[in-house]
Copies of this chain bind each other. A is one copy, B any other.
Amino acid sequence: MDFATLNALDYDDFVNIFGNVVEKCPIITAAVWSKRPFAGLADLEAAIHEFIDALPESGKEGILRCHPDLAGRELQSGTLTQESREEQARAGLDALNSAEVSRMTRLNLDYKARFGFPFVICARMNDKATILRQLSERVQNERQVERARGIEEVKRICHLRLQGLVLTDVPNKL
């Protein structure tokens, strides 16, 4: 999709196409539509970052809490968003053995009990081994460190989702 086309989208189509670049936060996409026209992908991404960075800390935690657990209940029950399902599958999280599922479940619970938000990592940039290692390491961080780290990962996920959408025609979503 070229940016002339993107900048000409009405908000309905814009949110329909880009509404989940930040997981379950279509408000962010819907808000940055006000900032068009965008000079390119980096400009659109900068508008998203600006919105996220201006949120109070509770709002950043809110973004994290809209993310599913990795290899969690929503993966098992088939209720992940399409984007999350593909990303978790690509990292091999839909094919864990029972020992790996148990370890992931326990670590996710520990992490959520400690921080009050889920462990967020860009699954497409990691495999199950590095995800498990990162989870076991990051659960020991301080809360504010993890909140900032989680938001960094949200931005990585957003970057790859945006690239995937802008560099294809996504006619099926229009």
Contact = CB atoms under 8 A, between A and B. Distances in A.
A65 B11 contact: yes
Given A35-B58, A58-B51, A65 B30 contact: yes
Nearest to A117: B11
A64 B35 CA distance: 16
A30 B25 CA distance: 11
A66 interface: yes
B58 A11 contact: no
B63 A27 contact: yes
A31 B112 contact: no
Contacts of A57: 34
A51 B34 CA distance: 19
A78 to B, nearest CB: 16
Interface of A: 10-12, 15, 24-35, 51, 54-59, 61-66, 112, 116-117
21 contacts: A10-B112, A11-B116, A15-B65, A24-B27, A25-B26, A25-B27, A27-B59, A27-B62, A27-B66, A28-B62, A29-B62, A30-B63, A30-B66, A31-B55, A31-B56, A31-B61, A31-B65, A33-B65, A34-B57, A34-B58, A34-B61
